[in-house]
Chain A
């Protein structure tokens, strides 16, 4: 068999692995790979404007399609620019393979031009990483990298390829699927744990299903199974930020999101529950609030594919180590086999309805200004005319308002940076989602500050004629920072005002986009309609009330039962203990 260059072997591997799109940026140390991709008939390369953009595009592509996202960047600054996105994918368990160029092996360690210790830098922000020093080993590594990125708890894997390895030759044979010597994630639950979980759930008087991003990662089938289990048990369902859409927001048992900006009913139900089934969530601090007051009366069952998520922050009574889909399948089968009936939970639901009656997502109405919550609600209403809608967000108040006021009825339609909280995620993620879903309406809900963190990617959307929509809730503040300063630091707004904002409409025009400005409540509906009906990419600069706060809110270090529902409950100062928490 003829030998091939490392670059050709890499491209061959990508084809064999079913890769259709690569998000990347060329540079000296990846020129051989870019040459192999030149006019390639099968692999589409999306040229980004900044490597961080490439990583978030890959995340958006992965989250919306279920396929791994692939990134290709050069050595040194190419790799270091990708670090934020790699970390983001690690925190949110997004399958991603990042291929980085490296200086030639004999130059490694000499402070060569554009040399960075990519493997050292990404060691703790990736699920795994590799430096490939031999072209004969490249194929095995690339196939293994995809296997690791996409199985178990998904995550980013970095493959660093020195330039001479891209040029040197070796034989390529598609590696056989061998069982990995040490990496073998447990996907099937212990039957005894399943039996115990079903027994606990069947006997529960005040059950809650607390679901997370693991349901989405497990594939669309897991969401169907979750709905079936919910129907069988009659239990209310709440979800983390990452899990929205797994159970439909229009479903009868939906409580809304829980946690810091979750609903009153979701947080009170967690506090008063007797059995909590955590499905693919990880008891994040944004969810639990004060740990010693978190769900104090409950028996906790935790389904997670990652053993290190169990008992990390909250001690659980019954760990179920498994893939969510597999565990739910087993639980449903056993529930039916044992002929459990849906329990009469009417008393529990009556209490929940009592909490729901507080209408915690209510917001003040205004005729003069657009309330940001109203803007989201209108966007939700208008977007229902589209066949398929994918929403991405940046990070901040707009993100929480989107989570609260936009209803998701299906998985993979809600893309947001939950764990790392990366401003600058949403817009590139929208581009990636649009690449993977060319016929969907993809809207990035953004803030005026976040959008500027990766705004250069407007050029990418123009180049590939991707009709993404950016819907900016423009309050001229880093709203969430300002809100915390109002709540914690007596409204001393240190550096949270967005001075010198660009004219977003003119910016849109500069990039060949359509720009729309919405200035008052009377323009809101028409402006949103125009955005949806415009065929190409659109920026909407939606001017909203400047000082709105995101409520309800569990203040830093407080319990679920200490929710603030409106600004009148805010004291404006906090103890040092509360200030010290994130």
Chain B
């Protein structure tokens, strides 16, 4: 007997939650307990009184499972609102990465040229290395990191995705 895999699709979910102890564990734990996937998760408080946080989760699963994820998140007591940005309409998503590259001579120049193409900024440098700061979609960052790997990638730090609905209204 073999275990079958199902078709799955990527969704970006945006959650407004009460900023309280344990909220992140509650949400992350729901994903592990029910066997859902987390590709990335970001959280930070976003109101002046620090009472509310926005959590952005990138997940993937069959459409039926995505519906369940939203319903399950929505019934957690501290969750105010769940928006499926992918389903909801046009939205902007961005991720930030710090990319450390080491090299000398032509490699060093090539790294700077590529950084320029990707609009990455140099935020630290030594004679033999750079740290670039790059912002963009997950795909753009993947591409940049992929190129740097060929030049002399040392390490990467990524924030995970944040997203907002386009237009003047809140989601």
Contact = CB atoms under 8 A, between A and B. Distances in A.
B165 to A, nearest CB: 20
A283 to B, nearest CB: 13
B64 A123 contact: no
12 contacts: A120-B25, A124-B29, A124-B30, A131-B21, A153-B75, A180-B77, A182-B77, A182-B80, A307-B71, A308-B71, A310-B71, A576-B1
A577 B1 contact: yes
A573 B130 CA distance: 65
Given A123-B26, A124-B29, A148-B77, A182 B18 contact: yes
Given A128-B77, A580-B1, 10 more contacts: A120-B25, A123-B25, A127-B77, A182-B17, A306-B75, A307-B75, A308-B72, A308-B74, A311-B67, A576-B1
Given A123-B25, A131-B21, A308 B78 contact: no
A128 B25 CA distance: 13
A181 interface: yes
A183 B21 contact: no
Interface string A171-189: 0000000001111000000
A119 interface: yes
B78 to A, nearest CB: 6
Interface in A278-329: 306-308, 310-312, 315
Given A311-B64, A577-B1, A181 B74 contact: no
Interface residues of B, number: 22
Contact of B29 (A123, A180, A306, A311): A123
Interface residues of A, number: 23
B157 interface: no
A123 B29 CA distance: 8
B152 to A, nearest CB: 42
Contacts, number: 44
B88 interface: no
Contacts of B30: 124
Interface in B18-44: 18, 21-22, 25-26, 29-30, 33
Interface of A: 119-120, 123-124, 127-128, 131, 148, 153, 180-183, 306-308, 310-312, 315, 576-577, 580
The interface centre, meaning the residue of A124, A127, A182, A315 with most chain B CB atoms within 10 A of its CB, is A182
A105 to B, nearest CB: 12
B143 to A, nearest CB: 37
B68 interface: yes
Contacts of B67: 311
Contacts of A124: 29-30, 33
Contacts of B96: none
Interface in B80-131: 80
Given A123-B22, A123-B29, A307-B74, A181 B68 contact: no
B164 interface: no
B151 interface: no
Top 7 closest A-B pairs, CB basis? Answer: A308-B71, A576-B1, A182-B80, A128-B77, A183-B77, A124-B33, A307-B71
B68 A311 contact: yes
A373 B152 CA distance: 76
Nearest to B74: A307
B168 to A, nearest CB: 24
A55 B21 CA distance: 26
